[in-house]
Amino acid sequence: MSVPHPLTPAKAGMSGENGGEVLSKPRPSATPLDPTSLRRDRSSVQSALTYAIVPVGPADAAQLARVHVQAWRESYRGLLPEDYLRRLSAPLHARRWRARLLRLDEITLAAESQDGALVAYASGQAAREAHGPFEGEITTLYVLRAAQRIGLGRALMTGVARALADRGAHSLVVWVLRDNRRARDFYEGLGGAPAGERDEMVGGTLAPTVGYRWTDIRKLTEG
């Protein structure tokens, strides 16, 4: 739902909301959720599954990669080249996630079901192009289609915003594909104000993106 940034490795442990090192337990691998079966009774999904927002670490790389690949194919069909989406590799993204989760400058939280499967995640760090003394940025936020519309995206936004506020962030920004109307409606519904437009490389394609900004991060952290 947000425009990702390049992945770069670092030499320290993944940071959680307190800025310290988080050592996560390995979670069981899971097969992709079946949207058609789950959508048959949305109320039963909400009552049967309880999700927890949790910090993640390198041991969760394979699950994050699975969510990443599935979410990109669900979210960007018709927006990015179909050949690119078809060639997305979970093993490749797992290696990238392991490196990414060693960084101390980025916070990553995930939504975990009762059986330990991850169905959504969000990451944030200091803004790449700061607008003010210290601005945070949501660098990625994805929720599997079958787990949408039950509040996980909002919960992840709140969790990452609070972690960034604890590090001193006063405002928050996110960039999304201009033509991703579903994502834009989500951020507008959370009170994000237009923050300009720019072109970014997404999926090997130069694509127009739009920004949303919360000038006071407390509008998210106190929600």
pLDDT band of 27, cuts 50, 70, 90: low
- Decide if pLDDT at 35 tops 50: no
pLDDT of residue 203: 79
DSSP per-residue string spanning 112-150: E-TTS-EEEEEEEEE-SS-SSSSEEEEEEEEE-GGG-SS
CA–CA separation, 4 and 203 (whole Å): 10
| pLDDT (tens digit per residue) in 125-176 | 999 886 667 899 999 999 999 999 999 999 999 999 999 999 999 999 999 9
pLDDT band of 4, cuts 50, 70, 90: low
CA–CA separation, 62 and 29 (whole Å): 8
Query: Residue 145: which domain range?
Result: 50-171
CATH of the domain at 96: 3.40.630.30
In a domain, 16, yes or no: no
**For residue 186, with 0-12 CB atoms within 10 Å meaning exposed, 13-18 middle and 19 or more buried, which class applies?**
buried
In a domain, 72, yes or no: yes
| pLDDT (tens digit per residue) in 113-138 | 999 999 999 999 999 886 667 899 99
In a domain, 161, yes or no: yes
| pLDDT (tens digit per residue) in 39-67 | 333 443 443 358 999 999 999 999 999 99
How many domains would you assign to the chain?
Answer: 1
Average pLDDT over residues 192-211: 92
- Decide if pLDDT at 222 tops 50: yes
Return the residue matching tokens 């660098």.
139
In a domain, 185, yes or no: no
3-state secondary structure of 199: strand
pLDDT band of 7, cuts 50, 70, 90: very low
Q: Which residues pair with 112 in a beta bridge?
A: 52, 118
pLDDT averaged over the chain?
A: 82
Average pLDDT over residues 96-106: 94
In a domain, 7, yes or no: no
Count of other CB atoms within 10 angstroms of residue 180: 22
pLDDT band of 191, cuts 50, 70, 90: very high
CA–CA separation, 47 and 175 (whole Å): 33
- Decide if pLDDT at 22 tops 50: no
In a domain, 87, yes or no: yes
